[in-house]
Chains A and B, each alone.
Chain A
Amino acid sequence: DAKTTQPNSMESNEEEPVHLPCNHSTISGTDYIHWYRQLPSQGPEYVIHGLTSNVNNRMASLAIAEDRKSSTLILHRATLRDAAVYYCIPRGLRANNLFFGTGTRLTVIP
């Protein structure tokens, strides 16, 4: 499994954009980049994933570097409900497991 590096914590003001970085320099060519988040005292939830191109969905956008060694999860307008730990997980599409690193704890300031 590719190793990931994420900041331990980040802060954002409410209604401002947030860019959550992830380095995955050992990612293999077939690994997708998945992002999950875990709200306090809850199970994780899927946020977004991508392979090479930037991706958008109703929750977030994912910007993937051209060399795929890093990616950035973008929350366009942070709300208090976005306060969570965000995990970046490179993973093969057919791989069975998800291995969670330490993630980034996002604090949203009202």
Chain B
Amino acid sequence: GAVVSQHPSRVICKSGTSVKIECRSLDFQATTMFWYRQFPKQSLMLMATSNEGSKATYEQGVEKDKFLINHASLTLSTLTVTSAHPEDSSFYICSARGSKSRYGEQFFGPGTRLTVL
């Protein structure tokens, strides 16, 4: 398989601060990366899709000015939650698709649990 890492795995921050989450494809080139959010006992919800070197495409209802996504290289995408509030507390998961995706499958990171106090 292909390996995707996320950092940090867990973060606690104060309301009003910004938090950056990194997603890296460790052993393949990721032409497309995806960011999902998952609230407790709910399913994953796609937030945005980004292609390397292009602006991200956000799903309806996701504020692009609040959730800044950068996909500057074929192995790294970042999600910055700006001016975080308690309602942004969630499990954020990235996935990547690229040179190891024989059938278009996505490889997921382990997730980042964000708690905003």
Binding site for B on A (CB under 8 A): 32, 34, 38, 41-46, 49, 87, 91, 93-103
- 9 cross-chain pairs, A with B, having the tightest CB-CB distances, nearest first: A43-B108, A100-B44, A100-B43, A46-B105, A43-B93, A44-B108, A43-B111, A43-B109, A93-B104
B49 pairs with A96, CB closer than 8 A: yes
Contacts of A87 in B (CB 8 A): 43
B104 pairs with A97, CB closer than 8 A: no
Partner of B111, one of A34, A42, A103: A42
- Say what secondary structure dominates the interface of chain B: strand
B108 pairs with A49, CB closer than 8 A: no
Question: Once bound together, how far apart are the Cα atoms of A34 and B109, in whole Å?
Answer: 18
Query: Taking the complex as formed, is B106 at the interface, i.e. its CB lies under 8 A from any CB of chain A?
Result: yes
User: How many contacting A-B pairs (Cβ < 8 A)?
Assistant: 53
Number of interface residues of B (CB under 8 A): 25
Contacts of B113 in A (CB 8 A): 41
Q: Which residue of A lies closest to B9 (CB)?
A: A41
A95 pairs with B44, CB closer than 8 A: no
Contacts of A43 in B (CB 8 A): 4, 6, 93-95, 108-111
- Say what secondary structure dominates the interface of chain A: loop
B104 pairs with A94, CB closer than 8 A: yes
Question: Once bound together, how far apart are the Cα atoms of A46 and B1, in whole Å?
Answer: 9
User: 0/1 per residue, B42-56, Cβ < 8 Å to A?
Assistant: 011110010000000
B108 pairs with A95, CB closer than 8 A: no
Question: Once bound together, how far apart are the Cα atoms of A93 and B106, in whole Å?
Answer: 12
Contacts of A42 in B (CB 8 A): 110-111
B110 pairs with A97, CB closer than 8 A: no
Contacts of A102 in B (CB 8 A): 43
Query: Taking the complex as formed, is B32 at the interface, i.e. its CB lies under 8 A from any CB of chain A?
Result: yes
